Amino acid sequence: MTDPSTIERNERVRTRLGALRIRRIGAGPMTVLWPSMFVDSSTWDSLIPELDLDREYVLVDGPGLGRSDALLRRSTITEAADAAVDLLDGLGAAGPVDWVGNAFGGHVGYKLAAMPGVLRSLVAISAPVERITQAQRAQINLLLPLLRLAGPISPVRDAVVGAMLTDASAHDERIRRIVVESLERPSRRSMTNALRSFILERVDVTAELAAIGVPCLYIASDDRGDWSEDEALQAAARTPNATAVTVQGARTLIPLEQPAVVADHLRSFWASL
C-alpha cells in the first residue's frame, strides 16, 4: 500500500498577488520551500528525495512564476512577503513554520523572519542582502525589452542559465531543462513584472537583519560573486542567531545543483533547533 505521506497534493492558494500554485508532500511540521526568480518549484525536485518525510514540505511557485497566477502589476519583496503570510493562512498553518528560500525565496524569508510568530526558522540560500550590482542592472535592462516583446528567446535564456548555473550544471541536460522549462511557463508580461518587482527594485536589507528573531542558516555557493562566503558570514554576524556555510560546485540554484549537500545542511540545522 502506498504511504499517504509520499503522495504529492497539488493546490492553489489565493493571496493578494494572485493564486499561488503549491505542491505538498510529507506529513509533520510545515516547511515552506520558495524558489528563485525566473524558475519555479520544480527546482526543489532533486532535493526532496534527499530529505526525510517526517515533515510536510510545501513547494511554492512564486507570484507571477511557474503555474501561479500571472503578475499583472508591479509589486515589491515586502508585498511578496505579505502574500506569503496569506499563503500560510490559506494553508492552515497551525503555528510558525520553517522557511527555506532560494534567492527570491530568501529575500522573502528575511522579511518574514522579522515578523513575530510567522517563522520558526529561516534558511536563506544564495540570497544577497544588498541591492543588485550596477553590472547586473545594466544586463537586465538590456534583456528586458527582449523578454517583454519576444519572451525567453535564446539571448534571454542563455543569460538566465548563466546566472543560475555553473558551466558544469548548464551542460547537464536534465538540470538545464528544469531551468528552461520553468522560464517558459509564465507569460511575458508576468515575467517582466516579476523581474522588475523582485530583482530590479529589490532593496538593501542589511540594516534589517538585526530585527530577525529566529534561528537562521545562510547558504552561499563558491561561484556566485555577489553572495560569497565572506558576504554570507558578514550577514550572519549581523543577525542575532545565524550561521553561514558555503557549498562547492554551485552558483545560484544550489538545491538543484548540489541537493545532497544542501539536504545534509538542512538536517543538521533543523536538528539544532
Mean pLDDT of 15-32: 97
CA 252, CA 224: separation in Å to the nearest integer? 6
- With residue 30 as reference, give the H or E element that holds it: strand 30-34
Cell of 219: 547558504
Q: What is the per-residue pLDDT for 7?
A: 79
| Apex 251 CA angle, 47 and 228, nearest 5 | 115
Q: What is the per-residue pLDDT for 1?
A: 43
pTM exceeds 0.85: yes
Tell me the per-residue pLDDT of 96-134, one tens digit each, with 9 for 90 and over. Answer: 999 999 999 999 999 999 999 999 999 999 999 999 999
- Cβ neighbours around 96 below 10 Å, total: 18
HSE-CB for 67 with a 13 A CA cutoff = 12
CA 45, CA 129: separation in Å to the nearest integer? 26
Q: What is the per-residue pLDDT for 42?
A: 98
Q: What is the per-residue pLDDT for 3?
A: 58
C-alpha Rg value of the chain to the nearest Å: 17
Alpha helix locations (H) across the chain?
A: 77-91, 104-113, 134-150, 154-164, 167-170, 173-184, 188-195, 229-238, 254-257, 259-272
Domains of the chain: 4-272 (3.40.50.1820)
Mean pLDDT of 24-39: 97
Interstrand relation of 30-34 and 97-102 (parallel, antiparallel or unpaired): parallel
Residue 191's alpha-carbon distances to 74, 75, 167, in angstroms, are 11, 12, 24
Mean pLDDT of 84-92: 97
